[in-house]
Amino acid sequence: MGRIVIAKLGGSVITDKSKPFSYRSDVVSALAEEIASSGESVIVVHGGGSYGHTVAKQHGLSSDTTSQSMSGVSQTRTAMLELNSLVCKTMSESKLNPYQFTPFDSVVHGTSSESASWLKGLLKAGATPVTFGDVTLQKGGFRILSGDTIVLELAKLLKPERCVFALDVDGVYEENARVIVPELTPGRIRKMKVPRGDDATGGMSLKLEVAAKVAAYGSQACFVSGYRRNEFSKALRGMDFYGTTVRA
């Protein structure tokens, strides 16, 4: 088993957020082929894009506030499971062996060490574990569990070599400029002012918060375009790439 890498495939990359329920099979296929040829042990987390986010926003579901809408929860989960099935089907056609699991599947395996052992066992067996943003029941109602938050929890659990975020942009830009920042530290991220936007799960602001924490755990966080498969491949393999690296 190679080094563990977590790949977060952004919902805005694998779907067209401007068109409800629009899946980009060609993009997922290209990224899956790069994962298959990388030689790394990769766990995939994907966002909701025009599936989960479309339905969640209709019912007032977000990661910031709770909701009592059970019909909204059910429809959002159904949309996410549909997208997850499409992603895994494409991956199966791209020389990967996807193993679908919900974020809560790892919880039933007991302690953190047992959950880590379960995931490492899947990787060693040749599977590519695939999970996704979800809806969780908390005190006061239901809340969106962002794929970025799941990346953070997996990073705590597995201490991966790196976490690669495939975005619809080339990386993190300088404030008020279209210039990519090649490297960031957790300290610099804490000083940045990044708007949350209207994303149901916090957008780039949450991604940077997660990246800062991932780096503090000793892993690297990489922001790269999901449309540049060669750069995505370099980031997966730990090579220099066009984008942004976050390290402590």
Tens digit of pLDDT for each residue in 153-202? Answer: 999 999 999 999 999 999 999 877 789 999 999 999 988 877 655 555 55
What value does the mean pLDDT take over residues 74-79? 90
Domain that holds residue 123: 4-246
- Strands of 73-218 (E only): list them: 98-100, 128-132, 134-138, 141-145, 162-167, 183-184
Single-letter amino acid, residue 216? A
Q: Is residue 64 over pLDDT 80?
A: no
Q: What is the pTM of this model?
A: 0.92
- The CATH number linked to 33 is 3.40.1160.10
Tens-digit pLDDT profile for residues 197-209? 555 555 788 899 9
CB 28 within 8 A of CB 14: yes
Domain count, the chain: 1
Condensed to tens digits (0 to 9), the pLDDT of residues 88-118 reads 999 999 999 999 998 765 554 557 888 899 9
Write down the H helix ranges in 11-128.
11-14, 25-37, 49-58, 70-92, 112-124
Query: What's the whole-number average pLDDT of the chain?
Result: 89
Taking residue 19's Cβ as centre, other Cβ atoms within 10 Å add up to 10
Q: What is the C-alpha to C-alpha distance for residues 231 and 212, in angstroms, rounded to an integer?
A: 22
The per-residue pLDDT for range 11-43, each reduced to its tens digit, is 999 999 889 999 999 999 999 999 999 999 999
CA-based end-to-end distance of the chain: 26
